[in-house]
Every structure is written in structure tokens, then in C-alpha cells.
Structure 1
Amino acid sequence: MFPPAAVSIFRSAPHGSPRNELPAVVTGVEDRGLVQRVSLEVAGQRIQADVTPSAMRELGIAPGDRIVAVVKATQVALHPVA
């Protein structure tokens, strides 16, 4: 598990320390004031990313776009399935 704030989005795979790169499709965008909640589909699963409005404008992200979602490994928590 990881919070939406732990997810970064890019038009193409970034270079650097992030290693959890997930090809994704944008399925929706919700305005939450200080952040935009971006809904993503990754390998048939839904995840969300919180992105600043300025980042959204810069990236030009819209529903249907193919992007790369990146989650820092330090932000992932593992929980046993009950």
C-alpha cells in the first residue's frame, strides 16, 4: 500500500533513483483544491496520484493519456492479507 502523495507521474520514464516505474493510463482527474487527484489504471488495477495544479498544467495530463507512475520504495508498506 502507498498513499496518493507517494506517486509521481511522468510523460516518460524518469532517470535517477526511482525504480518502481509503472506504465499507466489516466482514467480521471479530480480537483481537490491544493492538489489534483489523478486516477490511474496500472495492469488492471487502480491507483491514485496527488499532483499539484501547476504540475498538471506543465504535464498536460488528461484522461486516456499513457504515462509512467513512479512510487518510491520507501513509501510502500506491506500488509498481510487476512
Structure 2
Amino acid sequence: MTSPLATDHELMALVGGIKYVHVFLGVIVAAMAFTIGIMVYRTSPQPDSIVKLSVWTMILLVAVQMSLGTGLIAVALPPLLQLFMFG
């Protein structure tokens, strides 16, 4: 059982290797977004504008998510605060 007065670092130490799994899953999501985008463009010689917009929006959202995550780490925001920042 953890103490309610535990620091962020003590709580995150209990998480262990999950932070590496999180990074790995992020890379997989980014790779899948780019792969799906390339596949959509290759299947149709002239995709509709809504398809192009959807592909670029998907890639943009993944890029924003990765940038935001990297930015939160870069400004050294405590991990526990990062977790509950947008909730």
C-alpha cells in the first residue's frame, strides 16, 4: 500500500518499466498513422479532398500529441502532474 504523502518520484518509481512501454506504444501509433496515410494515398491515384484532409488531420493529431508529450518532459513537469493535467 502506498502512502498518500508519497512524492511524485516515489509513486512513479512504483510504475517501473511502464514508461518505456508508453514510449514504445507512441512510436507504434505514429508509425501506423504514417503507414495508413501512405497506404490511402497509394490505393487511389486521385483521392478525394476529404480523404486527403482526413489523412493529414490524422498525422497532424499524432504529431501534436507527440510534441505535447515531449514538451511536457522537456519542461520537467512532474510526472504525476502530467498525468492529471488535462483530466
TM bin, normalised by shorter chain, reads under 0.3
Higher relative contact order (CA 8 A, sep 6+): 1
TM-score by length of 2: 0.22
Highest CA radius of gyration, 1 or 2? 2
TM-score by length of 1: 0.23
Q: Which has the higher strand share?
A: 1
Q: Which has the higher helix share?
A: 2
